[in-house]
Chain A
Amino acid sequence: MAFISDWTQIGSDVFYRKHELYTMEWGGGINLGDFMVAAASYGGPIALTRDETKFTKTQQSGKPIIFVFSSSGRKISSFKWMSGYLLCLGWSRSEDLVCVQEDGAVSLYDMFGTYQHTFNMGQEVKDTQVQSAQVFTSHRETGVAVLSKSNRVFMVSNIYEPRTRKYPDIPSGVVECWCVIREERHTNVLVSQGNNLLLLNHLDQRPQALYPEWNEPGGCIVEMAVSNNSRHVALLSDTGKLWIGSSDIRIKYCEYDVKSQVKPKQIAWCGTGAVVLLWDMTLEVVSVNGDATSYYLDSTSHLVQEPDGVRVLGSTAHDLLQKVPLVVTETLGIGSMAPGALLLEAAKGFQERSTRANDCLAMIKDTLEEAVNHCLQAAQHEYRPQTQKMLLRAALFGKSFLPEINPDPCLPLTWNQLEHLTLPVLLDRLVFRRFFPLALQIASFLKMPESDGASRILAHWACYKVLQPSQKSDEQIAKEINSKLGYTPGISYTDIANRADQAGRKQLAIKLIEYECRAKEQVLVLMRLGEDQTALRRALQSGDTDLIYTVLHHLRQKLSSGDFLMFIRNFPVAQSLHIRSCRELDMEQLRDILVQEDDFHGQALLRIKEAYMSNRTDTRQASLQGAAELFRKAKNESACQMTEEQVKLVKWQVRLEDGQHKPYVNKSLYDTLHQLLIDGQIKEAEKLKTEFKIPERSKNSLLLLRHQTF
């Protein structure tokens, strides 16, 4: 029974198993004891840097180097730490390396050592300096908490939106240890100081004292650990007593005597069922019921807390310690009579052509489906492909089929962790590691929708591709990318082009943006790249007026008025839109265009509009006179004549106004005549009629109207 050889029983029916994930590729040469270690959860990368506190300061050590390794110990990158004194390392949820300095500056790097950005914990932190710091992650965010040398806690709960929050003051004195407890809406800090245990809440004015129930009170807490879901906490006193209970300290699960005066190097939770204490050579697992077991280690190790277990990182090997899931215990456990176990037995019997198969099957006849499910679930929780195969064969034997879960060689993920992470995130992580083909394979294997899977991966690949120096011409690269990507939904050529532009490859960006099918994105990028002509052409092709206006606006700001007008002359549609917007806003600009185009008729009409905008008679007359000239130039004789008549009429009207002190100027010819008839100015009316050749018939109609008015 090889598959349960690594199980250890703790208590009555709980098993823990510790098995090796990888032999570290970095070889045995690294003594983790000399390093500051930070490993990302969910099988993420490991960062190492020499721990300065382990060496005497006199040793003139230059700038430290930070190494990043994969979980299997393969080096991903390394870079020289150029900033101030490095206090703490950690990883964010999206696998960025978080580096906290003594002066409160927090810098982020990606796993390839590329600098991302830096933020600060605030002036006060800078002034008082940081004593210790912690990087913590919750379900969604990653935060940083620091304890200043003035015994104040400051926290940024999301490093991507840094807002520093100050916690109530801790009384002066040495802080033994502290940890961060994340709750639904707020984040508390648990601090051990002397014989006191304090809970800090940023809403309260002062710390709240907590009193865990010890068998023998009076100890001082020297180490503590919070479970990944923040519900449970483990406290270790200087007398070697381990208190395990709820994170609000109200409920005590057990108290365990570790029987060691040496302070452990690290305490961590293994899932939610046990606490692991790490010394130089031993590892002790204490379940929440107070049962315990211990393992021996062959090198100085580091614990990485995971939601369903703990990873033990050593100089030569990388192990996972976890509670054996119930379904696995039931299926593979010795002497188990659970349906899954019997099905497995039946399958084995079948292979050996033994009658045992029949007997076992008969026993689980009614629970066959359950049995199959159990086998499948157990297979999901297994690492060794043989065991998985055996379980799956049993499940298959139980007449069912479900896709096998592909154990991924480079990411030691457990099934529970995968469920936590969700598949798209897993793919992203593969993509960040630049394992493009593998990610693609998984996506197609799992039949993920294109927009979630393949196209996203391809887009990332393309972005990466444009950043790589290459001998090929821009044209070729663009073509190559297009042939791979096609027009899959969810792919944004804009993003890729932007990436190329950022990398200073403008020509490539221009080539790439050609492939963008969303006109708006395309035009905006083209404008940014300075390809105005193409941008305008594309905007016009799209028929989206807003987009055309956007380009025109951009051009107007960029070019001089004359250049602008010449530029849009070649684009009649754009020109007409511009004229329309001028009509709304800018008469002068409109006139410029009309003059440029030698459009006398248009200029004349513009003059007429202007004429009636003014209330001053002399301005109006001047404008009308100008309009008449322009109509003549445009060889529009009738309009010219009508305008000249109007000039004459206004003169008459002015004269009438002067004589009668009545408004006439805004009246039409017939209105004027009508008014005169109403007023009984028969003589004037007659003169007007003759002068402006008003037909008799019209005059009679107006006369008729006069009678109606009375």
Chain B
Amino acid sequence: MSRTGSLGLDLEILRRLNRDRLVRVLEDAPGSKDLVIDSELLKMLDRIAGATLLRSHGVEKMHKLQRVPPPVQCGQRVYIVRPALVTVKYIADHVHEDARTHPDLRVHVVVVPRMTPWVTGLLEEEGLYGTLNLHEFTPEFVPLDEDLLSLEMTSFFRDAFLGGDYSGCVGVARALNTLQGLFGAFPNVVAHGRAARAVVGALDALTAQESPKKALQLPEIGHLFVFDRDADLVTPLLSQLTYEGALDEHFGIRAGVVELPKEVAGPDAPTKLPINARDTIYDNIRNRHFAGVSGYLITRAHEVKAKREQAQTMTTAQMKDFVANEIQTLQQLQRSLSLHLSACEAITTRTRKDFDSQLGMEHGLVTGAGTAAEAQTFLKDCLARMLPLHANLRLLCLLSLTQDGLSRDRYNTLSQRLLAAHGHRHLVTLQHLRQIGLLAVNESFTSGGGGGTGGANGSGGSGGSGSGGVAPLQDRLAQVASLLPRRGSGWRAAAKRLRLIPDAERSIDLHNPTDMSYVFNGAYTPAVPKVVGDVLSGRLSPAQLQDALKVLPGTTVVRTAAPGGPPPPRVALVVLLGGITFAEVAAFRLLALTSSTRIVLAATATATGTDLVAAAVV
């Protein structure tokens, strides 16, 4: 599966921007220094700057941020952290502790991506405000691959969709503005969802501040799409079936790096493996349906073996040529092949024996072939078998979403079982899931003000405003989180309107796919790639689009280029706020091929359904 070559968009420039910015921050603490890094940021920083670069700017030692302060070996220490309560507390403890033994230690704190007022407030409370040197490091999009950008804002989903804190949107807008500066303004814009609107609004504000000269630049990116993650929550909840998706589900991919356990990677090989298009083997299998991957790998392995065997019978001259040119590539291929084969093997053994029935259940829920009662029984079994919390929550949420909310009875039964299996504290988790909209309870309307304290329920927080002061806060919060009708018309209607469920009669070729639904065995097409595809192909006109997107929660902004201008370049930038799954990435890659458009994906982070439900877990 080769993709359209890079159409002039030089995304490498982003890497340089990030490097330069990081260097500037490091040079704000001139001389030698030790780094203490928030473990959440390790991968991203790794991605931005290698050890040599850090060393050349005075970095001596690097430590992970932990409760215990690292040894003082240097006159300066630089903390690079997210603005989080726990990180600030750790830093404060470290500083207080070291102040006694090393009064001369200069401490710098770099907050990624932005300093927030409450962090300064907290530092003030700790009496440290004046003694620390505070900096900010706002990264641009990190190019994870030639078509995938990420801001690595892993907490965006939680902040925005659970906490109602949309401040991350400003950071996204800034990063988009940089792209705008590099590649010209976006002539066509489609944004859907609350966070997406905030991003577009902030982007407009930034554009307005700039000199009008910029507008003259010819756009290199024809379309900008911005979607909130909650436009399609079903996709992340379904088990991913592409190789890349499976790697993410089983081992976790962070900032384009997969961390393989020792037994997979081999005893001497590095466990952290950057995965991208540069590995040709990987490039060929990443988007394949998992079922076809090992077959492909074995074929390739045979080829390599054959090549090697040829070498046995070579003349001296041929051998010379072989050694000079081919042997290295072959060795590389072989390494890569064996690694991916063992990863495949590991995934297969880790996959539960009843994975097929799980898959059947998931797909049955989506297509409507299976009933909620079956799923409930299946879920109860899973709970009784004490499967991991995240797996159970994913299933519970999928059940709720595809049924457009659970009945009160079913909710009570399942939540009681869930608490029995995983502990009572998850009563709060369930509440959080409901706030995000991953879980909903259908109340019968006759119950009046009775049991309806659940907050964001399936059919919208309509009751809140009437009762005024007595309205429970959760309802008021739900109101806030959806100043406009938040829930669309329910998932089922949306799936129908956007035609996300392919015709069951049509068979899908999983190995040479032509339809994006191959990522879920032909049971479901991820909504965002589907909508983008429909817009790019012209199946949905701007007016139709506005109408069609009404079924999704949130509101839409659509802007089209002034008529009469040159046709926009066939390059689309798709931004997903709250994380993108590799299933969607694969679908987009297929779309890029079939629509001969270059599609660059940009997300706050790459994510799986596990990451989403984990945002709710206390």
Pick out which of these stretches binds chain A: B65-73, B160-168, B542-550.
Answer: B160-168
Partner of B163, one of A580, A598, A602, A671: A580
Tell me the bound Cα distance from A674 to B420 in angstroms. 12
Supply 13 A–B pairs (Cβ within 8 Å), ascending by A: A577-B165, A597-B469, A601-B455, A601-B472, A605-B431, A608-B427, A634-B472, A639-B427, A646-B419, A666-B423, A670-B421, A700-B384, A702-B386
B423 touches A643 (CB 8 A): no
Tell me the bound Cα distance from A157 to B121 in angstroms. 40
B425 touches A669 (CB 8 A): no
Tell me the bound Cα distance from A643 to B618 in angstroms. 16
Q: How far is the CB of B484 from chain A (nearest CB, A)?
A: 13
| B118 within 8 A of partner (CB) | yes
Q: How far is the CB of B604 from chain A (nearest CB, A)?
A: 15
Which parts of A598-617 form the interface with B (CB within 8 Å)? 598-602, 605, 608-609, 611-612
Tell me the bound Cα distance from A581 to B163 in angstroms. 9
Query: Within 8 Å CB of B359, what residues of A?
Result: none
| B51 within 8 A of partner (CB) | no
Query: Within 8 Å CB of B427, what residues of A?
Result: 605, 608, 639, 642-643
A546 touches B385 (CB 8 A): no
Tell me the bound Cα distance from A575 to B478 in angstroms. 12
Query: Within 8 Å CB of A545, what residues of B?
Result: 165-167, 170
Pick out which of these stretches binds chain B: A342-350, A365-373, A691-699.
Answer: A691-699
Measured CB to CB, the nearest residue on chain B to A583 is B163
| B595 within 8 A of partner (CB) | no
Known A546-B117, A599-B472, A668-B421; contact A576-B164, beta-carbon cutoff 8 A: yes
Q: How far is the CB of A8 from chain B (nearest CB, A)?
A: 51
| A579 within 8 A of partner (CB) | yes
Q: How far is the CB of A584 from chain B (nearest CB, A)?
A: 5
| A544 within 8 A of partner (CB) | yes
| B332 within 8 A of partner (CB) | no
Which parts of B137-169 form the interface with A (CB within 8 Å)? 163-167, 169
Tell me the bound Cα distance from A624 to B471 in angstroms. 24
| B217 within 8 A of partner (CB) | no
A669 touches B420 (CB 8 A): yes
Tell me the bound Cα distance from A360 to B480 in angstroms. 85
| A585 within 8 A of partner (CB) | yes
Tell me the bound Cα distance from A585 to B86 in angstroms. 10
| A249 within 8 A of partner (CB) | no
Query: Within 8 Å CB of B85, what residues of A?
Result: 584-585
| A543 within 8 A of partner (CB) | yes
Tell me the bound Cα distance from A671 to B419 in angstroms. 11
| B106 within 8 A of partner (CB) | no
B117 touches A597 (CB 8 A): no
A638 touches B202 (CB 8 A): no
A549 touches B117 (CB 8 A): yes
| B470 within 8 A of partner (CB) | yes
Tell me the bound Cα distance from A701 to B385 in angstroms. 6
Interface of A is mostly: helix
Tell me the bound Cα distance from A519 to B201 in angstroms. 13
Interface of B is mostly: helix
A581 touches B118 (CB 8 A): yes
Which parts of B397-416 form the interface with A (CB within 8 Å)? 411-412, 415-416
Q: How far is the CB of A398 from chain B (nearest CB, A)?
A: 36
Tell me the bound Cα distance from A619 to B48 in angstroms. 47
| B477 within 8 A of partner (CB) | yes
Q: Interface 1/0s, chain B 419-462, versus A by CB < 8 A?
A: 11111110110010000000000000000011101110000000
Q: Interface 1/0s, chain B 351-366, versus A by CB < 8 A?
A: 0000000000000000
Query: Within 8 Å CB of A704, what residues of B?
Result: 385
Query: Within 8 Å CB of A638, what residues of B?
Result: 411-412, 415-416
Query: Within 8 Å CB of A649, what residues of B?
Result: 424
Which parts of A653-669 form the interface with B (CB within 8 Å)? 666-669
Q: Interface 1/0s, chain A 543-582, versus B by CB < 8 A?
A: 1111001100100000000000000000011011101110
Partner of B421, one of A549, A550, A581, A669: A669
A585 touches B118 (CB 8 A): yes
Query: Within 8 Å CB of B415, what residues of A?
Result: 638, 642
A612 touches B386 (CB 8 A): no
A594 touches B473 (CB 8 A): yes
Measured CB to CB, the nearest residue on chain B to A611 is B425
Query: Within 8 Å CB of A583, what residues of B?
Result: 163
- Which of under 10, 10 to 19, 20 to 34, or 35 or more describes the interface residues of B? 35 or more
Which parts of B162-184 form the interface with A (CB within 8 Å)? 163-167, 169-170
A702 touches B476 (CB 8 A): no
Partner of B165, one of A580, A608, A636: A580
Q: How far is the CB of B466 from chain A (nearest CB, A)?
A: 15
B385 touches A705 (CB 8 A): yes
Count how many chain A residues have C-beta atoms less than 8 Å from C-beta atoms of the other chain.
64
A543 touches B164 (CB 8 A): no
Measured CB to CB, the nearest residue on chain B to A580 is B163
B117 touches A577 (CB 8 A): no
Q: Interface 1/0s, chain B 385-403, versus A by CB < 8 A?
A: 1100000000000000000
Measured CB to CB, the nearest residue on chain A to B449 is A635
Query: Within 8 Å CB of B380, what residues of A?
Result: 695, 697-698
Measured CB to CB, the nearest residue on chain B to A650 is B424
| B9 within 8 A of partner (CB) | no
Tell me the bound Cα distance from A584 to B425 in angstroms. 18
| B239 within 8 A of partner (CB) | no
B424 touches A602 (CB 8 A): no
Q: Can you name 16 extra interface pairs (CB under 8 A) apart from A546-B116, A638-B416? A: A543-B198, A572-B476, A572-B480, A576-B164, A576-B481, A601-B454, A611-B425, A635-B450, A636-B451, A639-B427, A642-B424, A669-B421, A670-B420, A671-B386, A674-B386, A704-B385
Partner of A576, one of B381, B385, B449, B480: B480
Known A605-B427, A670-B386, A694-B420; contact A585-B122, beta-carbon cutoff 8 A: yes
Q: How far is the CB of A7 from chain B (nearest CB, A)?
A: 48
B422 touches A668 (CB 8 A): yes
A701 touches B381 (CB 8 A): yes
| A637 within 8 A of partner (CB) | yes
| A200 within 8 A of partner (CB) | no
Tell me the bound Cα distance from A560 to B589 in angstroms. 56
A577 touches B164 (CB 8 A): yes
| A278 within 8 A of partner (CB) | no
Query: Within 8 Å CB of B417, what residues of A?
Result: 698
| B479 within 8 A of partner (CB) | yes
Query: Within 8 Å CB of B118, what residues of A?
Result: 549, 553, 581, 584-585
Q: Interface 1/0s, chain A 674-687, versus B by CB < 8 A?
A: 10000000000000
Q: How far is the CB of B452 from chain A (nearest CB, A)?
A: 9
Query: Within 8 Å CB of A221, what residues of B?
Result: none
B473 touches A599 (CB 8 A): yes
A598 touches B167 (CB 8 A): no
Tell me the bound Cα distance from A612 to B420 in angstroms. 16
Q: How far is the CB of B362 from chain A (nearest CB, A)?
A: 20
B480 touches A573 (CB 8 A): yes
A609 touches B480 (CB 8 A): no
Nearest 8 pairs of A and B residues by beta carbon: A545-B167, A599-B473, A698-B384, A701-B384, A646-B424, A669-B420, A668-B423, A549-B117
| A593 within 8 A of partner (CB) | yes
Known A585-B118, A636-B451; contact A705-B386, beta-carbon cutoff 8 A: yes
Query: Within 8 Å CB of A698, what residues of B?
Result: 380, 383-384, 417, 420
B163 touches A608 (CB 8 A): no
| B114 within 8 A of partner (CB) | yes
Partner of A544, one of B122, B170, B384, B421: B170
A546 touches B114 (CB 8 A): yes
Query: Within 8 Å CB of B481, what residues of A?
Result: 576
| B474 within 8 A of partner (CB) | yes
Query: Within 8 Å CB of A593, what residues of B?
Result: 473
Partner of A668, one of B411, B420, B451: B420
Q: How far is the CB of A673 from chain B (nearest CB, A)?
A: 9
Tell me the bound Cα distance from A674 to B385 in angstroms. 10
Query: Within 8 Å CB of A519, what residues of B?
Result: 205
Tell me the bound Cα distance from A594 to B202 in angstroms. 32
Partner of B477, one of A518, A543, A576, A642: A576
